[in-house]
């Protein structure tokens, strides 16, 4: 093991998969000469050339469609959409083509395309650059959705996604690119399905993904030291398909659940987790499941208002205490 930044782990996965298979290419805005807005493709243009590391026009619908079409004939594209806010422009290609082509062709065509995109609320980027769209992609049948919470996952998930014959959307968080963490020295492939127990506990289950995993881990330490509450933290690194059995297993052990997400609550990840809990283990519950999520407003530019709109560690602690009747 050695420590890499989140962006370094992604870059390493790109490099290894491109070196392994000449059919793996990269496409996106400023990923070539510049090396990517978040440095995730730094140096690859010089190593592999413009035919495999392609700087594209500002046309998400165009280059995403081009990549999906290329995947039909054996190319394995990794598409970087600079900000998930702009993925809306490519939704027709993702939703109506990549996710459906295998089913509509009777298995004659596949779309082994990977689409990476950073999202989430960073620092004062305004409403049009602070989208949290994971719940939209979760709702697309035929599309895998993963969202790493640490450099090891970022590395292993990208490698597994490149070699998967399904279209895979990788949801990355903008505030995590400089986060450091252990990454195996040897080649590592992270499963595209499942969840991880980031912290074991017995009193309550905290369900989270990408950046909210870290809020929950911080909250769990405070809950343990100040309130003697032993919280289990579940890292939902796969959002589609969700690991129903893993969710049920944790709730059946702790009998209480709080779901933590940075996105707005309406039709969100938390709502889907609550539905699973109610459907699968209603009689295991000692309290109603609760959600911690953002205010249902466009994210303000003003720094203080932005902080007010987004949940934090303190919100997690308050919600856990309320759920436990404390």
The alpha carbons of the chain give a radius of gyration, in whole angstroms, of 20
Per DSSP, the residues of 264-319 read -STTSHHHHHHHHHHHHHGGG-SS--EEE---SSPPPSSHHHHHHHS--HHHHHHH
Q: Which are the catalytic amino acids?
A: 60, 129
Q: State how far the Cα of 52 lies from the Cα of 187, in Å rounded to an integer.
A: 22
Element (H, E) at 69: helix 60-71
Q: State how far the Cα of 27 lies from the Cα of 118, in Å rounded to an integer.
A: 15
Q: How many CB atoms sit inside 10 A of residue 241's CB? A: 12
Q: How many CB atoms sit inside 10 A of residue 1's CB? A: 10
Q: How many CB atoms sit inside 10 A of residue 226's CB? A: 9
∠ Cα 73 74 77 (to 5°): 105
CB burial string 286-295: b at 16+ within 10 A, e below: eeebbbbbbe
């Amino acid at each position: 093991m050695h420590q890499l930044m989140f962006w370094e782990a992604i870059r390493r996965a790109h490099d290894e998969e491109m070196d392994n298979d000449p059919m793996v290419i990269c496409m996106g805005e400023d990923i070539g000469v510049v090396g990517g807005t978040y440095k995730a493709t730094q140096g690859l243009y010089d190593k592999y050339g413009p035919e495999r590391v392609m700087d594209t026009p500002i046309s998400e619908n165009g280059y995403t469609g081009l990549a999906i079409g290329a995947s039909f004939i054996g190319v394995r594209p990794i598409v970087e959409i600079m900000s998930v806010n702009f993925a809306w422009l490519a939704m027709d290609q993702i939703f109506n083509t990549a996710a459906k082509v295998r089913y509509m062709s009777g298995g004659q065509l596949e779309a082994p395309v990977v689409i990476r995109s950073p999202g989430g609320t960073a620092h004062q980027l305004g409403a049009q650059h602070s989208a949290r769209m994971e719940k939209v992609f979760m709702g697309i049948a035929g599309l895998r959705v993963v969202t790493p919470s640490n450099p090891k996952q970022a590395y292993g998930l990208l490698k597994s996604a490149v070699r998967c014959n399904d279209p895979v959307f990788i949801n990355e968080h903008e505030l995590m690119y400089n986060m450091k963490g252990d990454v195996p020295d040897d080649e590592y492939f992270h499963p595209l399905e499942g969840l991880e127990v980031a912290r074991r506990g017995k009193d309550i289950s905290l369900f989270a993904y990408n950046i909210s995993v870290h809020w929950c881990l911080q909250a769990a330490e405070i809950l343990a030291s100040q309130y003697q509450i032993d919280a289990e933290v579940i890292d939902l690194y796969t959002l589609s398909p969700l690991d129903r059995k893993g969710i049920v297993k944790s709730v059946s052990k702790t009998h209480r659940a709080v779901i933590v997400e940075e996105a707005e609550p309406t039709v969100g990840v938390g709502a889907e987790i609550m539905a699973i809990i109610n459907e699968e283990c209603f009689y295991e519950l000692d309290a109603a499941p609760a959600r911690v999520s953002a205010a249902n407003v466009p994210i303000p530019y003003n720094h203080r208002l932005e902080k007010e709109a987004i949940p934090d560690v303190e919100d997690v602690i308050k919600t856990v205490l309320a759920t436990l009747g404390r």
